[in-house]
Each structure stands twice: as C-alpha cells, then as structure tokens.
Amino acid sequence: MNPRLETAAMDAITLRLFDTIEEENMAWIMAADSALRHAFGDALTDLTPSYTTLLIHYDCTRLSFCEASNKARRALDGLQPATTQDGQLHEIPVWYDESVGPELPLVAKRAGIGVEALIQRHCAHDYCVFALGFAPGYGFMGLVEEALATPRLTTPRKRVPAGSVGIADRQTAIYPLLSPGGWNILGRTAVPLFEYARRGEPLFNPGDKVRFKAISKAEFEAAGGDTTPMEERS
Amino acid sequence: MKGLRVIQAGPLALIQDSGRFGVNHLGVTQGGAADWISHRWANWLLGNPVHSAALEIVIGGNLTLEAEREVTLALVGADLGARIDDAPLAAQGTFTLAPGQRLCFRRPQGGLRTYLAFPGGLDAPETLGSRACTVREKIGGLTDDGAPLKTGDRLTWHGGEPTPRWLPRSAQLPLPAQGVVTLPFVLGAQAAHFAGRSLYQAFNQEWTVDQRADRMGIRLTGTPLKSTLTGIVSEGIPLGAVQIPPDGQPIVLMNDRQTIGGYPRIGALTPGACARLAQCLPGTRVRLAPISATQAQMNHRRQLSAWG
C-alpha cells in the first residue's frame, strides 16, 4: 500500500491507496474509512469509499485545504487493515430463469458450460462488495471467476427491472431500482435493496461479502418477487 | 390545505433544497439546487433558513401556478419571462399573489433556472435529511418518488407571513452576462496524465456548452483533450468534476451525478462556477480559469458570509 493524497476539488481530497482491483484492498479501505470518519468528525461532509480510493469531502468553512490534508495524513498513521470479521456475509436469494435473466444462455455458452452449472458456479463464490454507486444501494461486487466474465452488452437496455442480478466482466451486481443498464442479467431477487438504501441502512456495505442462493419461482413469488418477464431489448 | 395549485406543469420544475450530504457511500447522490446561490438568495429574501426547500424552475415553458390563498413569495435567478396574470414580474425580489391570481413562466431570456421560495420553505417529505428531488434515484419531491412537478399538484409551505427583504446591491447572482463566461477551476492530480498541449488547450480555448446538459452533467465541446489514461478504476466524484471521456470532450459533473465513475478528471469547477454553469444555455461560450484550492475556499467563504 502506498497512500497518496490528491486534490480532487476545492473541498475534496482523493485518498489513493491502491492502483488495481483486489479483494484484499477492502480491509484497508474500510480501516481508512473508519479512521477518517473518526478524525474528521463533523467536518466530514461525505466520504465515498471505492475499489482503490476514498473521496474525502470536507467542510471548508471549518478546515482549510492544508488542515484537511494533515488531518487525513495523521489519520492514516499506523493504520491496520480491518479484520475479516468486520465484513458481514449476506445471502441473497435469486430466481435464475431465462424470463427474468435473458443472458443466462449467453454467459453459459461463453463459459462452455450448461445453464445449471452456470447458476451453481455463480452461487459458489462469496463476492466482495467493492463500492456502492451508480444507484442507491447498487453494490459493485466481485470477483467473478474468469470463465464467467462477460463484457457489457454492446447496446445497454433502457429498462432493467429492480432486483435484476447481472454480470459485467469480472463483476456482479443487483439493480436496486428500475434503471438503464448494460450488464448481462442472469436472474432476479426480491430483496428490496433500494428501500434499505433510502432509509440510510444499506443491506450491505463495501467490505461485506455477498453469496447468491438459487431459489425456485414459487419461493421467489412467496418472497414478494415480481415475475414479470424482462422486456425485449429496446 | 390551500396553497398554490399547478394549473400547467412546464418541462421541468423540481423541489430542491441544499441537497443530501453524508450519503454518497450509499450510492445516493447529492442533488440540491444547481444554482445554489440564487436558491439561497430566494430563501433569504423571505427570512427563511437558506437551505429551505424551494422550487427550481428550468426553462419555464408555461409553467402556471394559481394561488388558493394570499401568499408572499420570492423569485431569484434566471429571467424566465414570469408574469402575474398578464403583468410582467421582475425576478430578484418578493411579491404577493392574491387568491385566484396566476403566476406563469414563459421562456428563458437570460439564464436557465429560477428559484421560487415560499414562506418557511415548501412542504415535502424528508429522505436522508433532505427534500431534494432526484428524478433518476426516485427520491424526494412532493411524494418522495423523484417525480417532477405535475399538473394538478398542490404546493404548500410551513411558514407564516414573512417580512420580505430586498436583495442587497452587493449580491452577485451567477447569471450569464454578455460574452464569455469564466468558470474558476481547481486542477486535480490526474491533470498530470494529460499531455502538455491538452492542458494548454483546456485553459486557452473557449468551450461551448452543449445541448447534452442536465442535472447529472453538462458537456462542453471544443478541441478534444487527450489523456494517457483511457479509463480508471471507478472512484468517488466531487461536484463540478471535469471528466474527460475517450472523445476528449469534457463533461462537468453536476448535482445529480453518479457517486463514483471511471473517466479521468482534469480537476473540478468551484461550487460558485457550478452555479454559474447551471445557468448557461446551450451555445454559451465558457472559459476554464485555474485557481488554487486555497483561493477558491477564500472566495467560497466570502460568498457564504453574505447570508450570515
């Protein structure tokens, strides 16, 4: 780790800890997250952790640029990575079906396996949450095993329904609400990620782990899932 | 409860306060008034806390509101050809509507957004500490689903009769004057990844505000800038960040931007420059003017001191 503080804006500093995406980064990112929250206190306007960085947004009526930089530097002194127990494991039930996961055959075919094997392998890994972004409660997770990695659709869809579970390259994610999107959709969950996020209590945070669990259509419906098939590409 | 009835919704009118803070880590964007300076003055004129929820009216487009009871309002920002019934109404002041009178906004004659403030602030549900309406995130607004103002809506407020103030002569509104608009800009660390010639061009050409402009981002067109980085690992994006996608045409990321993104950034406009850019119609010519973070903060604090 080689921490660098970079000017991002008049009242924002990027703390860059790493250069590449690794699951191991997250223990350090989350340690820096809590150290910075503690050090800045009320003078912190926003703190956005991501794969390799944290964006520190501070109140410039209370801290000058130099004071903020020094505070950040001191907060990092003697930083230790968060222990793995700090990140929680969340199990997300998913109904994998072509009607709500139209790219199941495509991703399976690219991997040279059947759809059943694809579902099993997508569920076999505990994915690390790298960042929340794109939409409230949208978690960028990975890393998906190399064989299942699939590039984004050439033309993004205008409407990806809430709960859609997708893959893009070596990442996987769940759409919390109806939005445009270009990820390869494999299935749908009834877990209301958006509702958690808008209450300020996201189901998962960066540094947490997520495991998908395949469920039947009946179980999905019982959980309140919407079985409306995905619309044709528009 | 009686209030202001929306007789005709224009293209875009949104309930906005100063925005949501401390929520970016949830993937929730900042939102808030794009021209926050005019928004605060509008509230100040009524003696409201300056962060109160007001109406951000974009373009106008015959937005028509009818008073169901007498009310004193404040209007600050772009001249959108406002009228009370058939009489022209000057912006940058307060006025009183009698029951049955109609307030209408026609088309922009200088600037793009205007702010209508209400006694004590508009009534609207609060989510994550703010009433800011973010259409894309389906958060905020009258029914807290991110919906812009629609025909048939009723606006109500929570204050009593205000004691109106005058806009001080020293107040500088971020409205475009004739000619080129100067946008103060703080260089970011990734500027190191732009070729010297591109850095020169960033600050020594006039950029044109593109049609592709909304509350998420405003595109500028001109001689393309080239970065040695094509994409970066997605990271948090501050307000006003100037990102350079592969086509070399800058996009200034505004209040409703996504919280993280993966294009290299040359730096960020100051908050004051964001307010100014938010008032620029497509076709406006702008210039990026480098300023140190320290100097920008001094200017920002001076601006904030206007409201006490």
Percentage of the residues of chain B whose pLDDT score is greater than 90: 90
Q: Is A205 on the interface with B (CB under 8 A)?
A: yes
Angle between helices A65-76 and A25-40 (to 10 degrees): 130
Task: Inspect the interface and report whether the beta carbons of A133 and B259 lie closer than 8 Å.
Answer: yes
- Residue appearing with tokens 């259409």: B135
ipTM surpassing 0.85:
yes
The per-residue pLDDT for A232 is 62
What does the domain layout of chain A look like in residue ranges? Answer: 4-85, 87-222
What integer is the mean pLDDT of B60-84? Answer: 97
Which H/E stretch holds residue A146? Answer: none
- How would you class B90 by CB atoms within 10 Å of its CB: exposed for 0-12, middle for 13-18, buried for 19 or more? exposed
Separation between Cα atoms, residue B301 and residue B269, nearest integer Å: 16
Give tens-digit pLDDT for B120-129: 999 999 999 9
The closest alpha carbon to A8, from A39, A50, A41, belongs to: A50
**Which of helix, strand or coil describes residue A165?**
strand
B169-190 per-residue burial string, b: 16 or more CB within 10 A, e: under 16: eebebbbbeeeebebbbbbbbb
Task: Inspect the interface and report whether the beta carbons of A10 and B186 lie closer than 8 Å.
Answer: yes
What does the domain layout of chain B look like in residue ranges? Answer: 4-155, 181-305
H-state helical runs in B46-90: none
Residue partners of B82: CB distance under 8 A and separation at least 6: B60, B75, B88, B89, B91, B103, B104, B105, B106, B114
Interface of B with A in 276-305 (CB under 8 A): 293-294, 296-297, 300-301, 304
- Kindly report the average pLDDT of chain B as a whole number: 95
Give tens-digit pLDDT for B177-217: 888 999 999 999 888 899 889 999 999 999 999 999 999 99
Q: Which residues of A touch B301 (CB under 8 A)?
A: 60-61
Q: Is A54 on the interface with B (CB under 8 A)?
A: yes
Multiple choice CATH, A4-85, 3.40.50.12160, 1.10.10.10, 3.40.630.20, 3.30.1360.40 = 3.30.1360.40
The per-residue pLDDT for B242 is 97
What DSSP state is assigned to residue B150? Answer: -
Is the model's pLDDT at B133 over the cut of 50? Answer: yes
Cis peptide before A143 (omega within 30 of 0): yes
* pLDDT-flagged residues of chain A (< 50): 234
Give tens-digit pLDDT for A192-208: 999 999 999 999 999 99
The per-residue pLDDT for A84 is 65
The per-residue pLDDT for B189 is 87
Min Cα separation B90/chain A (Å)? 34
Q: How many CB atoms lie within 10 A of CB A109?
A: 14
Task: Inspect the interface and report whether the beta carbons of B300 and A135 lie closer than 8 Å.
Answer: no
Q: How many CB atoms lie within 10 A of CB B72?
A: 18
The per-residue pLDDT for A234 is 43
Q: Is A180 on the interface with B (CB under 8 A)?
A: no
- Kindly report the average pLDDT of chain A as a whole number: 94
Task: Inspect the interface and report whether the beta carbons of A52 and B270 lie closer than 8 Å.
Answer: no
CATH of domain B181-305: 2.40.100.10
**Which of helix, strand or coil describes residue A7?**
strand
Q: Is A143 on the interface with B (CB under 8 A)?
A: no
Which H/E stretch holds residue B80? Answer: none
Multiple choice CATH, A87-222, 3.40.50.460, 1.20.1260.10, 2.160.10.10, 2.40.100.10 = 2.40.100.10
Of A9, A51, A66, the CB nearest to B268: A9
What integer is the mean pLDDT of B249-278? Answer: 96
Residue partners of A206: CB distance under 8 A and separation at least 6: A26, A29, A30, A33, A49, A50, A129, A130, A131, A132, A139, B25
The residue with greater pLDDT, B150 or B229, is: B150
